[in-house]
A and B are shown apart, each in its own frame.
Chain A
Amino acid sequence: MKETTLAMSVWRGDAAGGAFRDYRVPARPGQTVLDVVTWIQRHIDPGLSYRYACRVGMCGTCAMTVNGKPRWTCRTLVGTVAPDLRLSVAPLANLPVVKDLACDMTQFFDKWRRAEGRFQAAPGSAADFAVVPPESAARQAADAGIECIGCAVCYAACDVVSWNPAYLGPAALNRAWTLVNDVRDGAQAARLAAVAGDAGCHACHSHQSCREHCPKQLNPTAAIAGLKRLATLAALKGEI
Chain B
Amino acid sequence: MSRARAEALLWLAQRASAAVLGVWVPIHLVTIVAAVRGGLSATEILERTQGSAAWAVYYAVFVLAVSIHAPIGLRTVARETLGWRGPGLELATLAAGVALALFGWRAVAGLVMA
Q: For the complex, is A198 an interface residue (Cβ under 8 Å from B)?
A: yes
CB distance from B11 to the nearest CB of A (A): 4
Q: For the complex, is A114 an interface residue (Cβ under 8 Å from B)?
A: no
Closest to A165 in B: B83
CB distance from B65 to the nearest CB of A (A): 18
Q: Point out the residue from A163, A193, A228, A236 that lies within 8 Å of B4, measured CB to CB.
A: A193
Inside 8 A of A194's CB, which chain B residues have their CB?
4
Q: Establish whether residues A198 and B7, one from each chain, have CB atoms under 8 Å apart when the complex forms.
A: yes
User: What bracket does the count of chain A residues touching chain B fall in?
Assistant: 20 to 34
Q: For the complex, is A214 an interface residue (Cβ under 8 Å from B)?
A: no
Q: For the complex, is B34 an interface residue (Cβ under 8 Å from A)?
A: no
Inside 8 A of A240's CB, which chain B residues have their CB?
2, 4-5, 8
Q: Point out the residue from A160, A192, A202, A236 that lies within 8 Å of B80, measured CB to CB.
A: A160
Q: Establish whether residues B3 and A197, one from each chain, have CB atoms under 8 Å apart when the complex forms.
A: yes
Q: Establish whether residues B8 and A202, one from each chain, have CB atoms under 8 Å apart when the complex forms.
A: yes
Q: For the complex, is A46 an interface residue (Cβ under 8 Å from B)?
A: no
Residues of A at the B interface (CB closer than 8 Å) are 160, 163-164, 192-194, 196-198, 200, 202-203, 228, 231-232, 234-236, 238, 240
Q: Establish whether residues B79 and A232, one from each chain, have CB atoms under 8 Å apart when the complex forms.
A: no
27 contacts between A and B (CB under 8 A): A160-B80, A163-B80, A163-B81, A164-B79, A193-B2, A193-B4, A193-B5, A196-B4, A196-B7, A196-B8, A197-B3, A197-B4, A197-B6, A197-B8, A198-B7, A200-B7, A202-B11, A203-B76, A232-B12, A234-B8, A235-B4, A235-B5, A235-B8, A235-B12, A236-B9, A238-B5, A240-B8
Inside 8 A of B6's CB, which chain A residues have their CB?
197
Q: Point out the residue from A160, A163, A193, A228 that lies within 8 Å of B11, measured CB to CB.
A: A228
Inside 8 A of B12's CB, which chain A residues have their CB?
232, 235-236
